[in-house]
Amino acid sequence: MDLKPTVIDLMRSPLLIIIFLFGCWLSESHAQSPKRLLEEVRDLQTKYDSLYSPGEQTFVFAGSSSIRFWETLPDIFPGVQVVNSGFGGSMASDLLAYLDELVLDYQPDKVFLYEGDNDIFEKKSPAKIVRQTRRIIRRIQKHNGPTPIVVISAKPSLVRWHLKKKYEKLNTRLKALCDKDPSTSYAHIWDSMLEDGVVKKEIFLEDGLHMNAEGYSLWETILKPLGN
C-alpha cells in the first residue's frame, strides 16, 4: 500500500496551501524588488564616475534596456554630455528606488524617461505606473527645480503585442500626466513603429523585443527635436 501523499492530499491541508501561496508571493516579490538590480546600478555609477564632468550641459536618459542599448545617443546630441543610465529589466519602481544614483547625482539639464514597458509585462496596472512616474517627476523637480522632462511612451513590440491595449491605455495616461505640467513633454513613439496598424518586424532584433539601428532611427526622429 502506497502511503506517500499525493499533490491533491497536500493541497487539502490549509496550512500547506498557505505555505505554498506565501512561497509564491516571496518569489514574485524578490523578482520585482529593486535590490535585484543593485549590482547593475553600481556598475553604472562606476562607469559614469569616470566620465561625468560637473558643470557641462547634461542630458540623462533613464529607463529600461531600450535606453541601455541606444549606443548612438551621444552622436544625436553633439556638444551635450549624455548619461545613459538605462538598465535591463527596469520598471518605474526601480527608477524611483535608484533615482539619486541614476539621475539626480548628475544634476541634469534635461531628463528623458522610458518606463512602463516591463511594468505592463509584469502585470502592473497603468494607473500604478503613472503614479510612480508622477513621483519620479516630482522628485526630479524638487531636487533640480523646473528641469525639462521628456516622458517617452511605451513602445510596441512583436513579443508583447498581445498587451497592446494595456500599453495604449498607459500611453494615454502618460500623455495626460505630461499635459498637466508645462515643464514635462510627452514623446509618442508608438505610431512610428507601426505600419498599417501592425508592428514593423524589420525594426527589431531576433528576440522581437529589442530594436535594431532602424528602430532607433525612428526614435531619433522624434526625440532629437526635444533636445533643443
Question: Any idea where the domains of the chain sit in the sequence?
Answer: 1-32, 37-227
Residue 123, number of CB atoms within 10 A of its CB: 10
Residue 12: pLDDT band (50, 70, 90) is low
Q: What is the pLDDT of residue 196?
A: 97
Residue 161: pLDDT band (50, 70, 90) is very high
Determine how β-strand 194-195 pairs with β-strand 198-199: antiparallel
Q: In the predicted model, is pLDDT for residue 108 greater than 80?
A: yes
pLDDT tens digits for range 14-62: 554 444 444 433 334 444 677 877 888 888 888 888 788 888 999 999 9
Q: In the predicted model, is pLDDT for residue 146 greater than 70?
A: yes
Q: Which residues contact 157 (CB under 8 A, 6 or more apart)?
A: 117, 199, 204, 208, 209
**81 three-class SS:** strand
DSSP 8-state code for residue 166: H
Q: Name the average pLDDT for the chain.
A: 89
Q: In the predicted model, is pLDDT for residue 133 greater than 60?
A: yes
Q: What is the pLDDT of residue 39?
A: 86
Question: Higher model confidence: residue 198 or residue 50?
Answer: 198
* Among the four given CATH numbers 3.30.365.10, 3.40.50.1110, 3.40.640.10, 3.40.50.1100, the one describing domain 37-227: 3.40.50.1110
In the 3-class helix/strand/coil scheme, how is 82-96 assigned residue by residue? Answer: EEECCCCCCCHHHHH
Q: What is the pLDDT of residue 96?
A: 96
CA distance 180 to 66: 26
Residue % of the chain over a pLDDT of 70? 86
Q: In the predicted model, is pLDDT for residue 115 greater than 80?
A: yes
Q: E strands within 105-200?
A: 110-114, 149-152, 184-187, 194-195, 198-199
What is the 3-state composition of the chain as percent helix, strand, coil, each rounded to the nearest 5? Answer: 55, 15, 30
CA distance 15 to 24: 14
CA distance 29 to 22: 10
